[in-house]
Amino acid sequence: MRSARPGSTSAGRFRWGPMVVVLLLAAMGDPVAAAEEASPIPEIIPAAIPLINFRIQDQMGKLHTSGYFRNSVVVLFSGDREGSVFIKQWSPVLADSLAAEIKNYRVKFLPHAHLAGAPFFMKGTIRNRFSDDPAEWVLMDWDGEFRAAYDLAEDHCSIVVFDSQGLRRIQVVVQEFDPRLFQRILTGIRALME
C-alpha cells in the first residue's frame, strides 16, 4: 500500500497539507480577533470573586460599607495617583450613559483610590488633593484591601463590575478613553441588569 503525499487523495479522502491549512487560516482572518469583536464583554472576564466586605472612609472622613452596594450592579473605578487621570476620562462618560440606572439604584458607582504604601505623615496632604464636594467622594484605601482582592493595576484605571449578587463579572484595565472599549463595557454592564 502506498502512503499518500500531503495534498493527494487516498481511498477517496483529501489530506490537508500544512501549506493548505496555513493558507486557509490566513484567508479566514484571525478567529480570536473576530471572537473579541463579536463579544459584548470587555477583554477580561475574570473569575466570579465576590465584592469584599469593607468599611473604608472617604477623603472627608465619611464611612462607606459594602452593605450599601448590595442588590445593585456595582462599577468600581480604581486607580493610584497616575491612574486617577484616566478615571476622570471614563467615569463621567459611563455615568452619563447609565444615568437612569443610577437614579433608580440599579447601578452604583464605587470610586476608589488605592493608597497602600503612602507614608502615614502624608495622609492629610493626600486627602487634601481630593475634592471636598460630598458628591465626589472617593474611598481612601490606605491598607490596599481592594488591590489585594482584585489585583488592580498600577498607573492605570481599573474598572471592575460586580453583578447584583455581588460577584465580579467584568474587569478591565484602561488608560486613554477608547470609544470601542467603552461601548463593550457599557454593553456588558447592561447585560448584567437583564
Element (H, E) at 5: none
Report how far residue 170's alpha carbon sits from residue 95's, in angstroms, rounded to the nearest whole number: 17
Give how far Cα 44 sits from Cα of 47, 82, 185, 193, Å.
10, 22, 10, 19
Query: Tell me: domain 42-192, CATH 3.40.30.10, correct?
Result: yes
Report how far residue 160's alpha carbon sits from residue 149's, in angstroms, rounded to the nearest whole number: 11
Helix (H, G, I), strand (E, B) or coil at 25: helix
Residue 14 is predicted with a pLDDT of 36
Where do the domains of the chain lie?
A: 42-192
Sign of the torsion angle spanned by Cα atoms 122, 90, 176, 52: positive
pLDDT along the chain (194 residues), means of 10: 44 38 36 42 70 96 96 95 89 94 92 92 93 94 94 91 95 92 93 89
Q: At what angle do helices 179-192 and 84-97 cross, to 10 degrees?
A: 60
> What does the block give as the cell for 117?
504604601
Residue 63 is predicted with a pLDDT of 97
Residue 164 is predicted with a pLDDT of 95
pTM of model > 0.95: no
